[in-house]
Structure 1
């Protein structure tokens, strides 16, 4: 039985054939597995000597790079949980996260340490001060002998409604379950060349990171600035011979809008995973048309269930039907669809998606109240304790068992007496030829549906309502429309709805 994730790679740290392979590719630099293992070992042994505690967070304040990955591994060697921080976020947010985490230490470089004046009494360790090439593997194994699979592995900080980010705690078992089951059903083999766009504090990075260490994949760091230059991004993918990506759809939507794949067919691409937001069908169809050799997989899951828990392998029929499922559940995970009275929904009925199984996160770090509200007893089970996570996502199950995502529960509004999903309006708007991307908000004070769209030209308001009205009833048509040159993005690459709300909607809620 596998107890901790380190077992994925600890047994082959001395295997010369693997040590000589390239693990991480950055701008102007390649790092072999041997170099990654040795750096992690040196750092890990030093952390063990410095800290006797286990199961505590250690904060990592570094950009995505081989050194950052070695530090994550070193923290695991010490029996603690890493928490990767965003080095570009406002200092006040970093301060709040550190106050919430109360980490044993913060690991960074001397040039970034200047940004950590708000760390208070938390020790700041500069990595330049820890050098060497030799370490004692037995010291690491001795520390790991005391770790069990339910011990925390990492903490991912996500937005919190109070202004203080929530620290989602994942343990070894949840990651092991996700990787074992996910790699099997998604047919992920060895040696993929991963084109990574995800920041280190985003859940997709978790999948990419462990594919290196378990499957000896090559992790290719895509320069951050390329996300806003679609043609240069495509050229990079071709140059680096990327055959595997797991991206938020927004970047792919932009590439489709500019017809980038016509000149850059990405012939090496084998597997395209997408997650985090809805992929508009017309853009997905464009990608499938230009990459016929690639498999496209829609992934679903909030970080609270450890990256993803549902998947769907896209077919031609999905495009023709105009409906893309979030799919079927991963093995060793259960999902329930509950109505407003906590009763199980039948096929075709709308309800909230709830998840149970060992892939669930442990809760929110040092926040018992929020944990108890989100991770609750399954109301369908009166016999024994069974914790489920309430995702807040509204879905329905089709007769064939596939699950359809309808939108967030907090994106569901009451308008003119009707309960409507704003996401449904977005999907129809994006389906219009003239609209490249869209975000639909609700002005609770004025009782109006607000459509913000991205398009090459201004579209007459009447034409927008007429186009959407061909699919949706009159009460779901936008009352106000705004055109933007480009949608604002948050650090994860998703549409920044809060920024749009602040700019275009005066009334934030009732």
Structure 2
């Protein structure tokens, strides 16, 4: 297999009348998706060249998934634009793509006009019609598995959008292993939380297509209303969720299970941040027979490179990120580019293998910095991705995440991991979640929990040295989240500046 369209073709053959994707308004069978994607591809093929990026200005929906596969049939690769992003960022993305074309639907025309973007607009509705099999076969004959499938823009620590360009080969290599490892099959119903310009969604979309499963697209607003979210999970009979940690925690922190328990969920996978152990224990108490998996990996290596299936026997307060997926190599390098193998010694997490992406689109300088030759291998070309994350091996030899290199600070002459302070705070029984920032030579601690600052300081002094005790505590009622479901640290900074006590 060398093209993800083979997944769609095979599932349409095996399960033609089965629902492939459903949103709150409509659903589509595999046969319908197969036909519509070919219609879109036939029409779009005359408007783009093979290997060309196709920016899409739409919300995630059944229509959007038809367009994704239509773009691939036309020989291009898709780039979903976040409609809520400011005009400046969207223009930067379009400039990076060197594209003057945007595909959208009639319902989003007014929203696109407000962005005042200079582009030729193609309407999805105009792409439906007939299938030109001769043209599609010609395009397919020119395909290689190293051609791009999608590009996802992520700003990272620089604040400037970088387009992570991922090939068919990388997605196929990962999804084959992912679905096999976690026994995802045609009987599963995947509840999609992640935005489709975020790499977690790649697991949802292609696990669905590869196995003949069904994806239920959960409305974004339901993640602010646990009762509606739980109703949706139960009514749509969701079996599998692959969510950001904060999305998983929404149900447990707001005591959603006291309202309703989605008993059909058999697989809960999470990533993006460190899962607070007390929140995981709440899930386990209500769904004890469910498989829980901690996933790790940045966008640059096609979703994930390591995983740990959590056991009820796991008593440590640190959930390992575990071991590498098949056909991926995950290892630690110290600041001298030497491999770290001794337990409890920090190193930068590095990854090699087929899942490593093609790099940053139209950005050779940053591609060269992040994707480089493995310094442990002087003999042949072996490209690795340096994640910028710090990790260590525990006594059992399992890989554990420590912190971002960006979150390692120098305070009062001491080198400190902010993640270590967050972990200590989350040990406190009444604290649900915690997050620390370093601003103006001060450690600022945010927490969601029922404890006063003076008492919290007293408790932390039993676990942390004096130089690691936060200088300022800030109590919040629920953390602000990014659209990807992670704690919004920029929003916390704004809250901090607005509060005269900080």
Q: Into which bin does the TM-score normalised by the smaller protein fall?
A: over 0.9
The answer for the alignment partner of 2:327 in structure 1 is: 332
The answer for the alignment partner of 1:25 in structure 2 is: 22
Give the 5 Å matches for 1:182-197.
Answer: 182-197=178-193
State whether residues 190 and 215 of structure 1, in contact with CA within 8 Å, keep that contact through their aligned partners in structure 2. Answer: yes
Separation of aligned partners in 1, 2:107 and 2:256 = 38
- In the alignment, does 2:316 pair up with 1:321? yes
Q: CA deviation at 1:92?
A: 2.2
Q: CA deviation at 1:114?
A: 3.4
Separation of aligned partners in 2, 1:431 and 1:240 = 36
Separation of aligned partners in 1, 2:123 and 2:238 = 33
Give the 5 Å matches for 1:329-408.
Answer: 329-348=324-343, 349-408=345-404
Q: TM-score if structure 1 supplies the norm length?
A: 0.93
The answer for the alignment partner of 1:39 in structure 2 is: 36
The answer for the alignment partner of 2:456 in structure 1 is: 464
The answer for the alignment partner of 1:207 in structure 2 is: 203
The answer for the alignment partner of 1:477 in structure 2 is: 469
Instruction: Specify every segment of 5 or more residues in structure 2 that has no aligned partner in the other structure, as ranges.
Output: none
Give the 5 Å matches for 1:115-126.
Answer: 115-117=111-113, 122-126=119-123
Q: Structure 1 505/331 Cα, relative in aligned 2: closer, same or farther at 3 Å? A: farther
Match of 1:139 among 135, 150, 155: 135
Q: Structure 1 111/56 Cα, relative in aligned 2: closer, same or farther at 3 Å? A: same
- In the alignment, does 2:266 pair up with 1:270? yes
State whether residues 65 and 221 of structure 1, in contact with CA within 8 Å, keep that contact through their aligned partners in structure 2. Answer: yes
1:464 is paired with a residue whose SS is: helix
Separation of aligned partners in 1, 2:181 and 2:283 = 22
Instruction: Specify every segment of 5 or more residues in structure 1 that has no aligned partner in the other structure, as ranges.
Output: none
Q: CA deviation at 1:138?
A: 3.9
State whether residues 186 and 214 of structure 2, in contact with CA within 8 Å, keep that contact through their aligned partners in structure 1. Answer: no
State whether residues 371 and 386 of structure 2, in contact with CA within 8 Å, keep that contact through their aligned partners in structure 1. Answer: yes
Q: CA deviation at 1:297?
A: 0.5
1:356 is paired with a residue whose SS is: strand
Separation of aligned partners in 2, 1:323 and 1:110 = 48
The answer for the alignment partner of 2:480 in structure 1 is: 488
The answer for the alignment partner of 2:7 in structure 1 is: 8
Backbone CA RMSD of aligned residues: 1.8
Q: TM-score if structure 2 supplies the norm length?
A: 0.95
State whether residues 267 and 291 of structure 1, in contact with CA within 8 Å, keep that contact through their aligned partners in structure 2. Answer: yes
CA deviation map 1:358-383 (0-9, x unaligned) = 10011111111111111111111111
The answer for the alignment partner of 1:454 in structure 2 is: 448
Match of 2:227 among 227, 231, 246: 231
The answer for the alignment partner of 1:129 in structure 2 is: 126
Separation of aligned partners in 2, 1:59 and 1:89 = 14
Q: CA deviation at 1:354?
A: 0.5
The answer for the alignment partner of 2:438 in structure 1 is: 442
State whether residues 58 and 104 of structure 1, in contact with CA within 8 Å, keep that contact through their aligned partners in structure 2. Answer: no
Separation of aligned partners in 2, 1:499 and 1:32 = 40
State whether residues 87 and 116 of structure 2, in contact with CA within 8 Å, keep that contact through their aligned partners in structure 1. Answer: no
Q: CA deviation at 1:262?
A: 3.2
Q: CA deviation at 1:265?
A: 2.1
Separation of aligned partners in 2, 1:254 and 1:246 = 14
Q: CA deviation at 1:258?
A: 2.4
State whether residues 396 and 405 of structure 1, in contact with CA within 8 Å, keep that contact through their aligned partners in structure 2. Answer: yes
CA deviation map 1:306-358 (0-9, x unaligned) = 0001010001222x222210110011111120111111112221110000111
Q: CA deviation at 1:78?
A: 1.3
